[in-house]
Amino acid sequence: MALLDAAEIERRARRIRCLFLDIDGVLTDGKLYIGPNGEETKTNYVRDGYGIKHGIRLGLQIAVISGRPSESMRQRLQFLGVQHIALDTEDKEPAYLRIRDALKLTDADCAHLGDDAPDVPVMRRVGLAMTVADAHDSARAVAHWVSRYNGGHGAVREAIDLILGAQQRRPW
């Protein structure tokens, strides 16, 4: 277990400039509804969307890296103001490094909220490794912080609130 105490979480959160998010199992509950023609549908949690939109408005960068392609997710993320979106990206670490470098940030300036094995290489790098309550053991093993909420049920909002709260930039 890599869990850190509340004081250390707050110290690290204070310096986060960019939160990286996974989609499936983090922004969604991980379920894919497959239609008759193979088209995929998934659910998004509105409270997470509000957090993303207002986090960006308050100056927190949000980046999304997902192993799956999804045009509808891209459109929703763009609507929320997310500027850094890497979809259909099996290997997340190169995408993370590219975005980190483009933003001129260090690993300590970045947090990643992931739920499964593909997130682990990025979670091992960042200053604040975050995961959801229903994470796979691989992600839980390297997480500094675990949300009270499951993927697709408010974990993203809690992570954003934590970072903004540590920076005294809460939107309420």
- The residues of the shown chain that bind Mg ion, judged by CB under 5 A, are 22, 24-25, 115-116
Give the shortest CB-71-to-Mg ion separation in angstroms: 18
Whether the Cβ atoms of residue 29 and residue 47 lie closer than 8 Å to each other: no
DSSP codes, 59-74: T-EEEEE-SS--HHHH
The nearer residue to Mg ion, 69 or 165, going by C-beta atoms, is: 69
Integer Cα distance of 38 and 162 in angstroms = 38
Integer Cα distance of 45 and 20 in angstroms = 17
Name the residue number minimizing CB distance to Mg ion.
Answer: 25
- Residue 151: is it exposed, middle or buried by C-beta count within 10 angstroms (0-12/13-18/19+)? buried
The nearer residue to Mg ion, 61 or 66, going by C-beta atoms, is: 66
5 annotated as belonging to a binding site for a ligand:
no
Give the shortest CB-84-to-Mg ion separation in angstroms: 17
Whether the Cβ atoms of residue 40 and residue 30 lie closer than 8 Å to each other: no
Give the shortest CB-3-to-Mg ion separation in angstroms: 20
Give the shortest CB-167-to-Mg ion separation in angstroms: 26
The nearer residue to Mg ion, 51 or 118, going by C-beta atoms, is: 118
The nearer residue to Mg ion, 116 or 158, going by C-beta atoms, is: 116
115 annotated as belonging to a binding site for a ligand:
yes
Integer Cα distance of 2 and 5 in angstroms = 10
Entry field: residues in the chain? 172
88 annotated as belonging to a binding site for a ligand:
no
- What residue numbers does the annotated binding site for substrate cover? 24
- What residue numbers does the annotated binding site cover? 22, 24, 115
